[in-house]
A and B are shown apart, each in its own frame.
Chain A
Amino acid sequence: MAELSNVEIKDLTCSYNGQTVLADFCLSAESGLVLAIIGPNGAGKTTLLRAIARLLRPRRGAVLLGGEDVWQLPPRNVARQLALAPQTNGLSLPLTVEQAVVLGRTPHRGWLLPFSAGDRAVVDRVLRQTGLLDLRTRRITDLSGGEQRRVILARALVQEPQVLLMDEPTANLDMKYQTEILDLARHLAHHNDMTVIITLHDVNQAALYADRLALLAEGRLLSTGVPGDVLTPAWMEQAYNIPVIVTRHPLYDTPMVMPVVERARGRRALSEKPV
């Protein structure tokens, strides 16, 4: 089983400034699958990703990468196995697309090793895969939000990770870009056998693209499993504290969660539980 489950989170407790954000958290992610972390704002989704990415030292428990505690591994070794495409872009320096993406090779090159033909091949492949070939000499500060997202993803991908973490990859993107980026994430898991872990706000998008879901609320894992097991009215209402109905996607038959909204009040009282 060890080779199947390459990210294992064991009894993880994390806190910011003394305040517990994640408590006794256990979860594992398998290679070849997309795991989506969902949950309301402030549930601890991004904290969880940061802890997995070795950016936040847990107070208790551990994140195991291939069976080893990430904090026992040198940062460079972690960066060769695991890459994070963060949400905040921080693209303040007007590097070209290519220069920015090449930075992802850092863990493979050390500080001084020259850029090899192997590095070049990886960068070219990833630029093609992320549709950035035509933009390679453009300055990243001149790109649109969707293009910048692709640059960040490309930088993560040239690390050649086995585990890819994506923090809200669809935030502030239009439908087309959202679909493209999630399609790519799914492709990487299913065809390149990566472990892909994504935080998402849109639970229906999560149902559509992820193989497994993990539902967080207030720093705890409420439910995990295939979308049909997690996206139930009971779990949704417990996590989000609003009444919902769950139906099926007309094309893919994945669960679709719909909140019972205020405007329905005239016809149906909010307190009336959906069946």
Chain B
Amino acid sequence: MTIQRYAILITGLAVLLAIVLVLSLGVGAVAIPPERVLAALADRQGLSAPRTDVIIVWDLRMARTLLAGCVGAGLAAAGAAFQGLFRNPLADPFVVGASGGAALGATLAITAGLTFTGVGFGPVPLAAFVGSLLAVAVVYAVAEVGGEVPVVALLLAGAALSTILSALVSLIMLLNDRDLLEVFTWLMGGFSGRSWPHLWASAPYLLVGLVAIWLLSRPLDALAFGEETAQSLGLPLTRARSLIVAAASLTTAAAVAAGGIIGFVGLIAPHAARLLFGSAHRRLIPASALLGALLLLLADDLSRTLLAPVEVPVGIVTALLGGPFFLYLLKTRQKELGGG
């Protein structure tokens, strides 16, 4: 694909994302048609637009919608990075244990009384980051055989560790029933009740993580040919790997801290992006991020409308839609993935 064609497609995707964003602001218990959303958007003070529209769009839905988009972008970019690092199309933040680690870190932070306070780099995402890094390190150490990570070993190590981590989260919740509801609703994965402080506490981490992953495109490409090739191209292997793990874990952690456990976005979006835009990471990562944002916005819209006025946690929506896709991938690609 030429760079011009890529630019056109990416711009098209960005425009589509903007349209879905506007439509999403109108979706929910109270439906607002797009033209009234636009009017409210243009009129933050509510001078001419209906006051209720402005409140719903700006105060109730804007932050959560932006957050859903950012989280989707983050999960998808992190998924693309993990897939490149592990040379394995099934590695997503959920599968490799990064989400579980982040959940444990964030749970500890929340029960310790830390909250989404202040603007910038909040403490909950930071705790999630530490948990996420540790989890990926453990999964990698367990599943790695001579520089390669066989798919079966990765899935088993990730699943086992995720089970342990979620058991620990449950235990902490039981011991701290004061925070039970807060942790529980957050863990289910969703953006219900998320507002500007959540966005401000997570967005900086997400942004840093996304840019870092994108800057690591070239090492990611080189790693795709195996570690010996990467090394013989002069890549400092340990440093490159550590940076990729750090960037992908940071992004995952920020996404989990903001949205809870949301599975499969990090799997589906990079997969679709690869089909549309090819496998070179410099192009794949921005495309994955846009598709991830789009996917999660749509999933969040579904979560608000499926059983309205009750909100289904978005993690349940993505699991119900993405789970079968994962199984399908596993089945159809078993031959090429197998061996390990």
Contact = CB atoms under 8 A, between A and B. Distances in A.
A189 B134 CA distance: 49
B334 interface: no
Interface residues of B, number: 23
B222 A53 contact: no
Nearest to A105: B233
B232 A83 contact: yes
B226 interface: yes
B226 to A, nearest CB: 4
A75 B235 CA distance: 7
B246 to A, nearest CB: 15
Contacts, number: 73
Given A88-B226, A106-B218, A95 B280 contact: yes
B234 A78 contact: yes
Contacts of A54: 231-232
Contacts of A92: 87, 224
A151 B232 CA distance: 16
B233 A103 contact: yes
A79 B278 contact: no
Contact of B278 (A53, A55, A94): A94
A79 B231 CA distance: 9
Most buried by A among B87, B219, B233: B233
B82 to A, nearest CB: 14
B234 A75 contact: yes
B233 A55 contact: no
Interface in B199-244: 215-216, 218-219, 221-222, 224-226, 228-229, 231-236
Nearest to A112: B215
Contact of A84 (B215, B222, B232, B235): B232
B228 A55 contact: yes
B27 to A, nearest CB: 37
Interface in A154-198: 159
Interface of B: 84, 87, 215-216, 218-219, 221-222, 224-226, 228-229, 231-236, 274, 278-280
Which 9 pairs show the lowest CB-CB distances between chains A and B?
A: A79-B234, A107-B234, A93-B224, A76-B234, A90-B226, A106-B233, A84-B232, A75-B234, A99-B280
12 contacts: A76-B234, A83-B232, A90-B225, A90-B229, A91-B225, A93-B84, A93-B279, A94-B279, A95-B279, A99-B221, A106-B222, A109-B218
Given A55-B228, A79-B233, A111-B216, 10 more contacts: A54-B231, A83-B232, A86-B232, A90-B225, A94-B274, A99-B279, A99-B280, A104-B233, A106-B235, A159-B233
Interface of A: 50, 53-55, 74-80, 83-84, 86, 88, 90-96, 99-100, 103-104, 106-107, 109, 111-112, 159
